[in-house]
Structure 1
């Protein structure tokens, strides 16, 4: 039986998530409409682009009432076992994490109002995310039916039909307690369907991909589900799969004219988040994955004027990151770089991660003002500031 979450649980909750197909959920599509020329300023500065909470913000009383550990806990998105509702409930009760990611094929957490019981243990609304793109990356197909891949949608459907399909799918998600979808994918590629991105991409044409991604994102929002477009700054032409190791994209100058086009005029997408991929971009990230590179977040914030929540791709199950850093350090590096939410789909290690973040705030490694800015963005998406 389906029913909507209680009114104390807010609909627009954000969280980053990662898909079993491309770590931390595959690519994030950008919804459509003609793109304009991006600014040409250089992203050379490595300082993270962070927007501190505005003085007198309505979030201030909520943030001021939280302990340092509760504050950093709101900035993590933790994978949970979809077959074990009791464990997810205990995680939220004990650690008060800001979000959970429901991956895999079991549906126990998505039936019998199990997510209502998870929310009842939270002091603040919990973002509940899945990566339901269609095709190879689906989470509720056993419950709600199969959805075609992005490539198939663009081949056989109009943008309005895609919008209507996403709205119908979003309503089904929301009725089961899901508030965030790590979709659509705005990566551009004409690779074979089973490549790392492959048929998860609407098109290799920036205008087509943007139009269909915008339609999909609009449909989700019309249903009350928060879209997350991915994978910034563009996984479609990367050298491989970041699940298996660090991959490289074409140089930044080349991305500007193609892969980054879906992110232009990003405000047209409405209230969306952006997932940042584990991608080394020559001329931008200096050999680091974009997900932990201050220059990548600065590019998104400053040149593309993005004001919403940024979430990492999967920090725990993708070797582009896990081969380089233990999870607590990877999460810290992502937040230091400018991420608002750090995602790991594998679950576990929540205590050590929060211990490390709490220590970093106390020592100044993770500036308090930066945490506060991220918190305000995350809480506003969850409509948790009153």
Structure 2
């Protein structure tokens, strides 16, 4: 309980808009309740996403649930993929920057009838994409060691403005993992701190700066990679038991219910006492914990399902995507390891058979589309 109170106070101090403003003087009172028997009170509010979803074919609805890696060296291929399949998001990894130069993303965005999220993982330090274009960013650990949260927010806003100018809409950052690993560890200097409260405060500050610039921040890697054994890029990874995570790795997530405009990435982490031997990214219990235990209502996506052995050693990509969506992911991410067609074929077959309920797809669309301002 104490950590929840601290998180709430921290959010109030760091983030403008975390709490509602008092009613201004002179504001007229709310309308009186409708008289008994009035049909007005029973009329539900219109669903702004319903007419948008109605425009999508069944395959396009499923395509919106995909976040697909594209080659940074081939803008034409990215444009063709978006135009042909109308996927929900593209991810630009690696060091080449062709897609981030000369307004190359404009035709890609124009090819998307309902908009497309364009993501990079711009954390700073050893994980950044535009350092060759706009200068380097210090690692999270270096930020926390040399700057105040306020300064980190300003830095995040500046970086966000640079990303926005290049056509990026989403940053797979900050990492709010709590870690004391050496700098070159799987998380290492990607973590702001081994102190959960400090990792929370600095992560929120960087995320708020990105949001100030119009970039969607993505908090990762839920429920916490900082104390896990191994690297999910290389194989299966196990965290400490859930009870231990609650007082350490999960502390940063206590503030997210009050942070509007962010998303969460779920890692491929096996959690004793939670996931039943499954990676969290494929575990319904992990998504329930995030939604009901930590009150997060925004979009949730997986870590990379196509290039990380914690998944690929056990699952084919189409099956991994289906399992993730069934578990509660709104979008399934992969950077490599498969093409879109077979994945959509698998999702379509599951939808037709009832294995993938229409309500699960609709629930995801009602988070994905508003985040892109499509409805």
Change (3 A) 1:278 1:122: same
Q: Which residue of 1 aligns with 2:355?
A: 365
Q: Which residue of 2 aligns with 1:62?
A: 52
Structure 1 segments, 4+ long, off by >4 Å, are none
Q: Which residue of 2 aligns with 1:169?
A: 159
Name which one, 1 or 2, has greater alpha-carbon Rg.
2
Q: Say whether 1:301 aligns with 2:291.
A: yes
Displacement after TM superposition at 1:268 (Å): 3.0
Is 1:33–1:211's contact at 8 Å kept on the other side of the alignment? no
Q: Can you list the C-alpha shifts for 1:256-309, whole angstroms capped at 9, x where unaligned?
A: 111111011313332100000000000000110000000000000011011000
Q: Say whether 1:313 aligns with 2:285.
A: no
CA distance in 2, matches of 1:150, 1:246: 25
Displacement after TM superposition at 1:33 (Å): 8.8
Q: Which residue of 2 aligns with 1:42?
A: none
What does 1:36-55 align with in structure 2 at a 5 Å threshold?
none
**Aligned partner of residue 235 in structure 1, secondary structure:** coil
Q: Say whether 1:221 aligns with 2:193.
A: no
Q: Say whether 1:143 aligns with 2:133.
A: yes
Of residues 34, 44, 54, the one that matches 2:6 is 34
Which runs of 5 or more residues in structure 1 are unaligned? 1-31, 37-53
Displacement after TM superposition at 1:34 (Å): 2.6
Q: Which residue of 2 aligns with 1:119?
A: 109
Of residues 120, 128, 138, the one that matches 1:130 is 120
Is 1:249–1:281's contact at 8 Å kept on the other side of the alignment? yes
User: Could you say what the CA RMSD is over the residues aligned between the two structures, in angstroms?
Assistant: 1.3
Structure number having the greater helix percentage: 2
Is 1:33–1:214's contact at 8 Å kept on the other side of the alignment? no
Q: Say whether 1:288 aligns with 2:278.
A: yes
Q: Which residue of 2 aligns with 1:230?
A: 220
Question: What is the total number of aligned residue pairs between the two structures?
Answer: 337
**TM-score if structure 2 supplies the norm length?**
0.88
Q: Say whether 1:264 aligns with 2:254.
A: yes
Is 1:245–1:319's contact at 8 Å kept on the other side of the alignment? yes
Q: Which residue of 2 aligns with 1:47?
A: none
CA distance in 2, matches of 1:335, 1:55: 28
CA distance in 2, matches of 1:33, 1:233: 20
Is 2:170–2:217's contact at 8 Å kept on the other side of the alignment? yes
Which runs of 5 or more residues in structure 2 are unaligned? 9-43
